[in-house]
Amino acid sequence: MPRAAPPALLLPLLGLAAAAAADCPSSTWVQFQDSCYIFLQEAIKVESIEDVRNQCTNHGADMISIHNEEENAFILDTLKNQWKDPADILLGMFFDTDDASFKWFDKSNMTFVKWSDQEDGEELVDTCAFLHTKTGDWKKGNCEVSSVEGTLCKAAIPYEKKYLSDNRILISALVIASTVILTVLGAVVWFLYKRSLDSGFTTVFSTAHQSPYNDDCVLVVAEENEYDIQFN
């Protein structure tokens, strides 16, 4: 029956799974794809959207930006199951009058929209966006909000955490694999060596030609030869 692997070899394996969960600042954050999210549930009085944004920047993040349907669905599910969702969430979006387009505060590209009230020719100055937590649709609203029931923030996982931690995991896996391989090879060599001893295997030294005389006989013969030489 094969013996269980020594616990020392298994300890690094247990750390590999934990490494992937350690990319966000703390356990109060939730990770999805390459970003971390936190919902600040404190209701605050504000004078503008910048006050709301400061809530996120104080935590090393920015207001939420959404880039695909999967991320939109993730936010809805997490709001319902974990964050005790309000009716609407203010998105980190503003209307840029210079080029007449919506932009994200975190300067990411506008690759996805989910408007429920898109109308041509509407006045969009001082317009921001809200996520309706019941339907998942976005709707437009005035940026001059007076209060919010909670602030949703998002932070990208830093390069050094995302990629260098992946490299550390890979290196750890390679070290573990090498250790296991060397251990197995050592066990095989030891097994073959013990088996050769038990089977009576003889070396070239044990099969070499042996003299029919022992050391005492050789000594006597040498003395007799010396005696004959003296009298001859």
Report yes or no: 153 and 59 within 8 Å, Cβ to Cβ: yes
Give the whole-angstrom CA distance, residue 214 versus residue 123: 118
Domain ranges for the chain: 28-154, 161-197
- Tokens for 143? 């940026």
| CATH fold of the domain at 28-154 | Mannose-Binding Protein A; Chain A (3.10.100)
Q: 83, 115, 89, 85: which is closest to 102 by C-alpha?
A: 115
Q: How confident is the model over 61-97, as pLDDT tens digits?
A: 999 999 999 999 999 999 888 777 678 899 999 999 8
pLDDT tens digits, 176-223? 888 889 888 888 888 787 777 877 655 444 454 555 555 555 455 556
Looking at the DSSP assignment, which residues form a beta bridge with residue 64? Answer: none
Closest CA to 16 of 206, 167, 187, 183: 167
Calpha distance 43→65 (Å, rounded):
20
The DSSP code sequence of 190-231 is: HHHHHHHHHTT---TTTTS---SS-HHHHHHHHHHHHHHHHH
Answer yes or no: is pLDDT of 138 > 70: yes
| pTM of the complete model | 0.59
